Copies of this chain bind each other. A is one copy, B any other.
Amino acid sequence: MRIGIAARLDIHKAIELTDDLTDFLIKNSVEVFLDPALVKKLNKYHDSAREIQDMDVDIIIAIGGDGTILRTQSFIDGKNIPIFGINMGTVGFLTEIGPEESFHALKEVLNGNYFIEERTRLEVWHNKDLAPALNEVVLMTRKPAKMLHLEIRVDDEIVEELRADGLIIATPSGSTAYAMSAGGPIVDPRVNAFIIVPICPFKLGSRPTVVSGESIISVKLLREGKKAIAVIDGQVEEEINYMEEVIFKKSDQHAYFVRLTKEFYKKVREKLIKGGIGLE
């Protein structure tokens, strides 16, 4: 088996865990490849250095939070390599397990006791194809607390014209991330749909809308003189000008995750109700 490893570089424990896991995997006859930045930090495994985008592996282990997963995913677009996420962050919705369970879990993986979960991604077009989103695309103003004036269409029918701080177009994966914060429903990843959630709409009667995964969603910026940005998965930013459209549809590319269990709702309860933050 061939396994790659990527990790958050700013968390000491993530680096340490990388060391231990690499050691463990090599002892178990796995061919391991490490992000060169990790090799440099560890000053070990120099022969295993390999850029993430060049990793030709069966699985990539991503150690960090959801941001690490989203970033790792962006490097392996179009390659169908499943990601195994180990949570060192505060949220960890896309990750599979915590660090303390990681050795036991990897043993299960090496024994073949896992399955691959396929997650839908969102194709984003603005003058050209942009990086597909795994969680969501957020349209906002550059200036905090200023409103956009937007027109939303689904399959060429006007859904709504609204003034709001911003707009989220999310996949089911993204329904437990930013879209949830803005008041969207929890959407099971098995639903073939996208979610449209306004951020702070200036109107009493605005509601989240769930549209078909086969629909084409387009959003046009109406108010003259205001620029917006589209933020893809919290990573990539693209500037949108007055009267320009951004178009969304299901991507041909999916994201793949190594899973040991299918407990979606347990995660929802644990991470979003009880948790997320220390105090509560």
Give complex CA distance A276, B163 in Å. Answer: 9
Q: Which residue of B lies closest to A161 (CB)?
A: B279
Contact status of A209 and B186, CB under 8 A, knowing A160-B265, A276-B163, A280-B274: yes
- Kindly list chain B residues whose C-beta atoms are within 8 Å of the C-beta of A203: 205, 272-273, 276-277, 280
A200 in the interface (beta carbon within 8 A) = yes
Given the known A-B contacts A144-B144, A274-B280, are A210 and B181 also in contact in the complex, defined by CB atoms under 8 Å?
no
A76 at the interface (CB under 8 A from B): no
Flag if A157 contacts B265 (CB, 8 Å). yes
Question: What residues of chain B lie closer than 8 Å to A269, measured between beta carbons?
Answer: 160, 280
A164 within 8 A of B: yes
B280 touching A202, Cβ below 8 Å? no
Determine the chain B residues whose CB is within 8 A of the CB of A164 once the complex forms.
Answer: 181
Contact B163–A277 (Cβ < 8 Å) = yes
A199 to chain B, nearest CB (A): 6
Q: Is A85 an interface residue (CB 8 A)?
A: no
A195 touches B185 (CB 8 A): yes
Are B231 and A210 in contact, CB atoms less than 8 angstroms apart? Answer: no
Q: How far is the CB of A35 from chain B (nearest CB, A)?
A: 23
- What is the number of residues of chain A that contact chain B, defined by CB distance less than 8 Å? 71
Counted per complex, copies of this chain come to 4
Verify if A78 is at the interface (C-beta below 8 Å from B). no
Residue pair B229, A144 in contact (C-beta under 8 Å): yes
Whether the Cβ atoms of B145 and A231 lie closer than 8 Å is yes
Docked Cα-Cα span, A30 to B41, in Å, equals: 71
A278 interface residue per 8 A CB criterion = yes
| Contact, CB under 8 Å: A184 / B181 | no
> Is A192 an interface residue when CB atoms closer than 8 A count as contact?
yes
Residues of B within 8 A of A21 (CB): none
C-alpha spacing A187/B211, complex, angstroms: 6
* Interface positions of A (Cβ within 8 A of B): 90-91, 138, 140-142, 144-145, 149, 154, 157-166, 175, 178, 180-188, 190-193, 195, 199-215, 229, 231, 234, 262-266, 268-269, 272-274, 276-280
28 contacts across the A-B interface (CB closer than 8 A):
A91-B202, A138-B145, A141-B144, A142-B144, A145-B166, A149-B277, A154-B265, A158-B279, A160-B265, A161-B280, A164-B181, A165-B199, A178-B200, A181-B202, A185-B195, A185-B209, A186-B207, A188-B209, A188-B212, A191-B191, A191-B193, A191-B210, A199-B200, A203-B205, A203-B273, A203-B280, A204-B206, A205-B205
